Amino acid sequence: MNGRLLVVALVIVGTVLAAGAWWLRNGESQGAVTVDEIGDKIQTVRRGQLPAFATGGDVATLYRFAADHPEALAGAVCTCGCVNVGHTNNRFCYVKAERGDERTFTSHAAT
């Protein structure tokens, strides 16, 4: 009986350690909010996460849509004139860059 108890205890401890490591890794994946060359806030986060400046309400809904549906904004030109700063379509007002499992968001659409 002591052998089974030891195995159960090891499984529980292993599960707790794995969950803790995942939680810490997830927290580390959010970069700091910085400012880019045109004055917009930017933040790099893991796919599925939103930047700190796009949380809650309609802003979060719009950023999530722009991130998850690039084809919907690919042909839409922004009306604020940001084509002058390199935005070739409206999605660049939300997502500045993507690499691997990370996205760099810009606050351009939120301002």
Whether 6 and 40 share a structural domain:
no
Whether 38 and 91 share a structural domain:
yes
- Quick one: average pLDDT of 2-22? 62
Whether 75 and 103 share a structural domain:
yes
More confident residue, 11 or 57: 57
Whether 24 and 44 share a structural domain:
no
Reported as half-sphere exposure (CB side, CA atoms, 13 A), residue 61 has a value of: 2
Please give the residue range of the domain that contains residue 41. Answer: 31-110
* d(C-alpha 102, C-alpha 19), whole Å: 21
- Quick one: average pLDDT of 3-23? 61
Q: What is the pLDDT of residue 24?
A: 47
